[in-house]
Amino acid sequence: MTTVPMTGSSRQAGSSGASATIPGAHFRRVLGNVPTSVAVVAGIGPDGQPVGLAIGTFTSVSMNPPLIAFCPGESSTSWPKIRMARRFCVNVLAAGQEDVCAAFASKQPDKFRGLSWAAAGNGAPRLENVVAWVECDLEAEYQAGDHSIAVGRVTHLETGAGEMPLVFLGGRYLSVD
């Protein structure tokens, strides 16, 4: 696994080069206009127990080799446990699974309580009734502000029983019809 600090400049030609301070509320309000998928990244922690976190940054990166990415926050207590396992399953949530997202976005100790899941081929938890699941090995991780960019090498993927994905837009959950 590679962990690299993000450096360099993304300034456009002609910019003053001054760092702008952008208020967090403004940043969130503007970027809240961009719809995101809702997924749960799950693995098995060092104690042998399932662990997971909700993410809204899941994306494909490359077809050859097959790579995906997501951005866990540095305050996550679940991601370090999954990182140690180096294997995980991304569960793309279906419309109507807002309660599943809420459980995995929480700090509660047993996020799997009351949920149906089975071990995926790589041993990581695969949730029932999701739109799709993607089994991965951790390929690389890059530091990026108050998050990191985790890159997974896809080892297996399938569509699930869920028909329409859960989407987050404008501070609320939506389904795509």
Sole residue written with tokens 């993000």: 6
Specify the pLDDT at position 5: 47
Virtual torsion, Cα 72, 75, 77, 80, nearest 10 deg: 50
Of 57, 54, 36, residue with least CA distance to 169: 36
Specify the pLDDT at position 164: 92
Lowest-confidence range among 21-25, 31-35, 60-64, 149-153?
Answer: 31-35
**Mean pLDDT along residues 9-22:** 53
- Is pLDDT at 35 greater than 90 in this prediction? no
- Is pLDDT at 49 greater than 90 in this prediction? yes
Reported as a single tens digit per residue, the pLDDT across 110-128 is 999 999 999 999 999 999 9
- Is pLDDT at 172 greater than 90 in this prediction? no
Instruction: Provide the pairing of β-strand 172-175 with 87-92.
Output: unpaired
Residues 6 or more apart whose CB falls under 8 angstroms from that of 51 comprise 42, 43, 44, 45, 78, 81, 82, 111
Specify the pLDDT at position 1: 56
- Is pLDDT at 169 greater than 90 in this prediction? no
- Is pLDDT at 29 greater than 70 in this prediction? yes
Look up residue 48 and give its amino acid.
Answer: G
What 8-state DSSP symbol labels residue 47? T
